[in-house]
Structure 1
Amino acid sequence: MNQKRACIYPKDIQRITGRSERYGRKLLNDIKNFLDKEPHQFVTVDEFSDYSGIHVDIVNEYIKD
């Protein structure tokens, strides 16, 4: 069975956007603030997709393991 990750990491954002990993960490913090999440909570692929405007299928192509 092919399982995909439910959460997204700064390295994934780096691959998707072509920006630095530091930008990915900042973007994840911005998303957490926007969604009123605690610092220890994860950002899901769907939440990232909604926030960034990038279709979820495109995001999933980049995070294939």
Structure 2
Amino acid sequence: MKRICIYPKDISRITGKSYRQSLRIYNNIKKIQNKQSHQLISLEEVSQYLGLDAQLIRENL
């Protein structure tokens, strides 16, 4: 079974940015999606925010 949740470390691997910058991106996505602190973000939400294809991200995780 494939993962559907994305964490800041995953964003760091995808974008090549530092963990701290990836954490900012992660929190921006949560803010835009009106998520609470305990809620996770999905691969589709990250791909939409970054403007990348979700399938491309899946292959690189």
After TM superposition, the score normalised by the length of structure 1 is: 0.87
Tell me which protein shows more strand as a share of its residues: 2
Query: Matches of residues 18-33 of structure 1 in structure 2 within 5 Å?
Result: 18-33=16-31
Q: Which amino acid is the alignment partner of residue 52 of structure 1?
A: L
1:16 aligns with 14
Query: Matches of residues 1-65 of structure 1 in structure 2 within 5 Å?
Result: 3-63=1-61
Q: Which amino acid is the alignment partner of residue 48 of structure 2?
A: D
Quick check: which has more Rg, 1 or 2?
1
Percent identity over the alignment? 43
RMSD of the TM alignment (CA)? 0.8
Q: Which structure 1 residue ranges, 4+ long, deviate > 2 Å from structure 2?
A: none
Q: Which amino acid is the alignment partner of residue 11 of structure 2?
A: I
**Long gaps (5+) in structure 2:** none
- For 1:27 and 1:50, how far apart are their aligned partners in 2? 12
- For 2:40 and 2:53, how far apart are their aligned partners in 1? 19
Paired residues in the alignment total 61
